[in-house]
Structures are given as C-alpha cells and as structure tokens.
A and B are shown apart, each in its own frame.
Chain A
Amino acid sequence: MNTRLNRNKWEPYLWLLPSMLLIAVFVVFPILIVFKLSFSYISQGGVIGGFIGFQNYVDAVKLPAFKTVMLNTMWWVISVVGLSTLLGFIIAMVLNQKFRGRKIARSILVFPWATSLVIQASVWNYIIKYEYGNLNNVLLNLGIIQQAINWRSSYQIEFIWECAVGIFVTVPFVTFCVLSGLQSIDGSLYEAATMDGAGFWGKLRHVTLPMVRPSLTVSTVLNIIYVFNSFPIVYTMTKGAPAHKTDTMITYLYMLSFYERKKGPATALSVIGFLILCVCAGVYMIGVMRKEDEQ
C-alpha cells in the first residue's frame, strides 16, 4: 500500500538504523564480551589472559555454594511467579467487577509497580526488623501479639520473606496484564454461558480462562525472565548472607565478580543464566509471533 513511501530500497533500513545501533552496541556487544570472557583466563586483579576452554565453567560448578544458589534460584522463580500469577489473577477478576471506588483501587495497586525495587526492599527490611520493626510495633499496639516476634529468626525464613516481597512487587504486573485480557472479553459470551446453565466455575473454565490465556502466558513468561533477573530485593535484604545461603544466581554472580574477585566463574555463570533466559525468550517469541500471525 505504501508504494510512495518506498522510493528508496534502503530507506526503511535507514529508519531502523539508530535503534539497531543502540541495541547492537549496548545489548548484543556485552553478550559477546561475556561469551568471550567465559572462555578466557581472568586473574584475580581482572587481567584477561588467553583461551582456557571450559575451565571457568568447571570452576563455577565446583564452587561450594553453586548447588544452593541454583536451588534458591529455582525456588525463587517458581514461588514468586506462581503465587503472584495466582494472586494477580484473583485480584484482576475482582477489579474487573463494577463497583464504586474501582478507579481508586486500581491507582493504588499501581504503587508497587512504580516504586523502585531497592526502595521497596528497604522498607520491608525495616518493617520486619525484630527489635524495632514496624510490623511488631503495629501488632503489639493493636494487642494482637503480646510479645515481639522475631520475623527473621533463620535464613530460611529470611528467604521466604524475600520471596514474599518479590510477590508483593510482581502482583500488580500480572493484575494489569490479566485485566487487559479480561476487558477484551465480550459480555455476550457470559450471557450465552449463563443461558447454557454454566455456574461461576463453569464460566471461569470455559469462558474466562481460554480468553485470558494469551495475556496470562505473556505475563508468566515475562515474569519468569524478570524475576530471574531480579537483583535488588535479595541484595538489599540479606546480601545473600549467611554464606550465600539466600543468594539467587544473579546476586551470587554479582558477589562473585565484584566482591570475591572470581570473575572467571562469574562470567561462566552469566552465560549459564543467559542460556536459561534464551530458552524462556524462545518460548515467548514463539508465543508472540503466533499472536502476531493471528492478527
């Protein structure tokens, strides 16, 4: 249709050039650097030596905390993404009803999404302090508890708190994704389902879920990627202490490369993380492309 616009065969590429350049230099190039570094010897001082094959990968897997960190990462991603998807879905269902104050509720729900993660994590870090944290304070003042509770008595519990904060900040994203899916559902579908005698669960299974599945898929895959990449919550609340027992892969590789001066294994971990992300990204791409084709 746009024959007039395509006066020059090269014109479209010219229009794309700045964007491509930006992405190529600051996204693709670092990927290549990390790949190259992961096969090179890096001294403790950061001097880059020659090719050493898979030595960095072997070192990374042999690190004492490697297994814990991988397990933590798995739990972190599964619990945060799973629970926030469930919660976000329920909240979206509720917010999709018509009621007074819906706009206010939606505006409030945006708050955690708009706030910097490092600030969120700091606030929760203060709230659950044992000696003077606000949670104990409020509960004591209301007479719900008689004695201050140590909310972070062990590292397992601290890790659960980190997951909880992760869920808290992730829920709004899911809610708004699902909400956009819900709002595109034609009301007549529900009427038809009611005519067919479907109850609440029937409508949920046969109308709502199939209709919001695309947005739910997109939000879930994106969340897996973002939660996997999430750094500030764990870093602010525990810094992975004690002995990397609460670290996820991302905070661990940060600690390795910038505190413990083990850049070699750290780059190897980066590549492993990158490959995991690639798999997720591939799934996401297939989903998006299919959706594009449908339109």
Chain B
Amino acid sequence: MRSPEMKSQNRRALLFLLLGLALALILMSLPLFSFEAQVYTKKSANTFVGDEKYVAAKAEAEAVAEEYRAQGFSVSLSEDVLERVNSKGKTTSLVTFTLSQSYGKNLFSLLGQGFAASKLTAALLLCLGLSAALAAAGLVGSGDLLPRYLDGRSRALRGAACVTALLALLLVPVILMMNTYAFSRQMGLHNAGLLEEGRALFFSRMDRLLFDGQMGENIEQVLSGLKYHCSGLAWLLLPAICIILLSAIQIRFGAIKGTLLRGLLYFFVVVVCLVTLYPYYVMLITAFRSNAETLDMYFLHMFPTKWIWSNLTDIVRRGVPRYLLNSLFVAGGATAIAMLCGIPAAYAMARMQFKGKKAFLGFVIMSQMFSPVVLLIGISQLMNTLHLNDSIVGLMLINAAFNQAFAVWLLRGTFVSISPEMEQAALIDGCGTMGALTRVLIPMAAPGIVTALIFVFINAWNEYTISTVLISTASNRPITVGITQFSSFNMIEWQYLFAASLLATIPVVILFMSIEKHLTAGLTSGGVKG
C-alpha cells in the first residue's frame, strides 16, 4: 500500500515535527524573562551635561560598574537627565546615574522553584515530549497518510499526539500569564507596601531564582525596584507548538483545513461558554468573600482566601428565607392559576370548532405583547381598587395573567400534536369531556405541560418590576426585590447580595436546563421570553 509519494509525505511530516520540537526547545532555553535590579545610583549635583561635575560623577559611577564587572556580574549603566530652570533663569540639569543588573532567566530555570508556573512548565515539557514521541510512533507504525488506511493502533497514537500538542498550546499563555502575575503583580504590590501574606515565601523563592539563595536578609531591599520584563519572543512558542500540532494532524487526518476549522469551532464555543459563565463565577466567589475582600482592589486570588460560609447564615438572619418562600408562593400560585385557566382554553382551542376562535387567538397573542411595565400605573391603580395592593395573591394573579398567553399557546400546540382518537375512544366508553381531558389527554401531553409549567414558574420567579411597585411591606417581598435591601444608596454589601442571588439563581437555572430541549420546539410557534 505504501506508495513512494506517501513515504515522502511522511518524511516531510516527520521533518516538520522535529523542526517544531527543536524550535520550541530552543525558545524555552532562551532568556525570555528578565529582571532588572538597581544596584547603585549616583546623583550628580546641579550641573550641565559635559562639565566637570558631570564628568566626575560619571567616572565615579563607572568605577563602581567596573568593580561589579570584575566580580563577574553583568551590569549596565544608564543616565537620566532632569532639566530644570533655577531662580536666575539658568537651565541646569540633575543627572542620575543608575547601575542596573539584569538577570535573564529561561523557562528551564523556573523548574523546581516552587512558583505556580514551575509545575506548569514541567507539564509543558512533558506534553511536548509526549506529543512528539506519540506522533513519531504513529508515523513509524504505519506508512500511510490517509486515515482509511490507518490501523487502529496508529490512529490512536496520532490522536493522542494531537491532544497533547493542544494541551501544550494551551499551557503556554497560562505560563506566561502566571509569570506576569507572580513577578510583576506581586512585586508591584511589594513596592507599594501591600504584599502581606506569603511575603516570606515569595522572598525566599525570588532569592533562590535570582541569586541562588545568596542574598538572604538583603533580598527585600534588592527586590524593591526590581522590574520584570517578558520578552515578546516568548509568544513564538505558540507557532512552534502549532508546527508540531499541524504535523501531528497531518499524520493523523491527512487534511489540515478541516481540522483547523474544527479547532476554530471549539475555540469559539469555549470562548462563548467562558464569557457566559463569567458573571456566575463572579457571583459565586463574591458570595463567599468577606466584606473587606469584596471591596479590595488588590485582591490577588481567583478564589476567596477563606470561604466565608457565615455569609449564608447572615443572609438567613436578614430575612432571605422569607423572601425565597414568598417567591415560591408567588411563582407556584401563578403557575397553578395559569395552568388552571390555560389548560381548558388550550383544550377548547385544540379540539373544538367555534366562531371567534381566531379572534381569541389574536386576543391571547396581543396580551403577550405587553409586559406589565408599560402598564404599571394602570396595574397599581387596579390593585388599589381590588385591595390586592401589597399582597402576594395580587402578584400571583398578575404573573398568571401576563404568562397566560404563552401557557395557552404552548399547551395548544402540544394538544394539537396528539391525535384525538384516544379521547374519542374514552368518550365512547362513557367518559365526559372532563374525564377525557383529565384521564387521557393530560397524561399524554405531560412533557408539554411540564415545559409550560416550568416556564411560567421561572418567569414569575424572576419577575422584579411589578413586585417593586406593588409590594411595600418587607415581609411580603419576593427574592428579586428582597436582594435589593443589600444595596442601599451609600453601602452595598456585595457578599450578601450575591449570596442571596446565588440561592435565587441555582434552582431556576437547573429547572431551565431540564426543559431546554422541549422549549426549543415550542419556541418559534409560541414566542416566549422572560
């Protein structure tokens, strides 16, 4: 089966593989990260560049530099000129000579140093090595590029090579960011006097990394003013790994274009999911942080330093269970009313012929168009007259009415999709219309009914505007209004706000996920949204 053409293709793929690997390793051993420490500064007196005071100061600085160089340090001398005009109108300069020592470090020097990036670098090396080895093994095992000729073993090997190469690709930006985080940010905090926890550990690690642990006590002073710089070359690691990945893909699938599109698709999906989940992540971590941490700009961690579970007990004391219960009543009551009114209407619409059917349909759909907000004034007036102001029952009725359209619409669709033969049989057997509905149709339409039920429930649970207007007594508030008590005008207790939000969100999100599949079907016909 092995044509010479395929063999040459394979050789080329192998060559590319080795090239990518070599490139990656070379890049990793270059001094990609540099630290600049100021070891000596000399300020000249008021002077002009070039006069004797300047020359003297410069000579002094250079002498110090020579001393350092004699000891084997690589230092560089820079001068900073500050011009200013004195009271007599003469321009003088203040020259600052700075002797700075730069420490270049490559990725390998991070290994075993205990930084977050250290372990990841080890993982990166492992991934690179594995992926190259797997790809090569898959290549040697079978000579053909076309997947249909590949045996199972080499297919698996090449697939694994792709996965490990992808992993390596992901690790690179993570490592670079981890480094920036560890060095730039922590050092910045140290310089601003804000680094408190993990201080000693950080110092000892930096000491080991930069000075082989020689600095000891002095490290704190040396680190002040230390500047971190990541070379742009580091990003070249990405294309290098891409070469490995591509040659692994070429060996695996033969076609690069389709695979790239696939990669792009996954990338897109992952980005969309991450953006979608981001506010929920913020909600989660903030709900368990202390008040001081929620207001801390220098908060360093992706997760709370200490998970404050007492936030939950605090919100319990502040009345949140009561609000949740109110919401449960409002949403449950609204759902019950909407279903009790909606099922008969939907049944009539689906099974009976009568004049004005279309008009009723129009009436129902029209009512769906008006969110209660634009009618707020009318509704509050109406509720005043009915004495349902500030009552949970009032909220139930309003929510039921404004969700009626969807309930009828979706239920009608479900009923229509079920053949009437079963009910007719039940009718012939002597059941009344009511019996046919409750004993035959409702059990058969259960999935559609549950979907409508949950949807109305969620809408009522999440409703906010009408409740703010109608409810004035604190103990009658549903949760959406209840959480606003944590954000008063001058102080927002974010941790309580989000802890309560979390409790209000989790159940409905789970409910919603359970009906997502059924909802898609009823969507475009019914038209629904919270």
Contacts and interface: CB of A to CB of B under 8 A. Distances in A.
B218 interface: no
Contacts of A138: 302
B524 A94 contact: no
A49 interface: no
A80 interface: no
Interface in A21-67: 21-23, 25-34, 37
Interface string B510-530: 011100100111011101011
Interface in A151-174: 168, 173
B480 interface: yes
Given A5-B352, A19-B345, A30-B375, A123 B283 contact: yes
Interface stretch (A185-193, A201-209, A213-221): A213-221
A215 B345 contact: no
B529 A127 contact: no
B118 to A, nearest CB: 17
Contacts of A280: 369
A198 interface: no
Interface string A251-266: 0011001100001001
Q: Which of B177, B280, B401 has the most CB of A within 10 A?
A: B401
Interface in A94-145: 94-95, 97, 99, 101, 104-120, 122-124, 126-127, 131-132, 134, 136-138, 140-144
B167 to A, nearest CB: 16
Interface in A216-251: 218-219, 222-223, 225-226, 229, 231-232, 250
B37 to A, nearest CB: 19
A21 B286 CA distance: 45
Nearest to B385: A33
Interface stretch (B81-89, B90-98, B247-255, B289-297): B289-297
A150 interface: no
Nearest to A251: B373
Interface stretch (B119-127, B149-157, B271-279): B271-279
A111 B352 contact: no
A123 B382 contact: no
Nearest to B362: A285
Interface string B359-379: 011111111011111111111
A274 B373 CA distance: 10
A225 B277 CA distance: 26
B353 A2 contact: yes
Contact of B269 (A11, A94, A115, A289): A94
A74 interface: no
A63 to B, nearest CB: 16
Interface stretch (B17-25, B190-198, B208-216, B497-505): B497-505
A26 B398 contact: yes
Contacts of B464: 116-118, 231-232
Given A118-B464, A122-B487, A250 B374 contact: yes
Given A22-B337, A114-B458, A37 B377 contact: yes
A121 B128 CA distance: 43
A31 B370 contact: yes
A210 to B, nearest CB: 15
B505 A285 contact: no
* Most chain B beta-carbon contacts within 10 A, residue among A20, A109, A112, A118: A118
Interface stretch (B56-64, B138-146, B158-166, B179-187): B179-187
B508 A115 contact: yes
B400 interface: yes
B187 to A, nearest CB: 11
Contacts of A23: 363-364, 367, 401, 404-405
B238 to A, nearest CB: 16
Contacts of B378: 29-34, 37, 270
Contacts of A183: 520
Interface residues of B, number: 107
A82 interface: no
A4 interface: yes
B269 A99 contact: yes
B370 A176 contact: no
B364 A12 contact: no
A71 interface: no
Given A1-B420, A180-B524, A101 B483 contact: no
Contacts of B465: 231-232, 254
A176 B402 contact: no
Given A105-B273, A141-B302, A254 B376 contact: yes
A37 B385 CA distance: 15
A184 B376 CA distance: 39
B6 interface: no
A64 B347 CA distance: 51
Contact of A116 (B361, B402, B505): B505
A155 B420 CA distance: 59
B269 A277 contact: no
Contacts of A20: 345, 360, 363
Contacts of B353: 2, 6, 12
Contact of A131 (B272, B295, B505): B295
Contact of A266 (B371, B377, B483): B377
B377 A119 contact: no
B512 A110 contact: yes
A22 B341 contact: yes
Given A27-B370, A114-B509, A115-B508, 15 more contacts: A1-B420, A12-B348, A23-B401, A105-B272, A120-B279, A126-B494, A127-B278, A132-B297, A180-B520, A180-B523, A257-B377, A266-B377, A270-B378, A274-B370, A281-B369
- Interchain residue pairs A-B with the least CB separation, the first 9: A143-B180, A30-B378, A26-B401, A114-B512, A19-B345, A229-B371, A15-B348, A116-B462, A281-B369
18 contacts: A18-B341, A30-B381, A37-B377, A101-B269, A105-B269, A109-B273, A112-B279, A114-B511, A117-B464, A118-B464, A132-B295, A137-B297, A148-B297, A176-B516, A229-B374, A254-B465, A267-B377, A285-B365
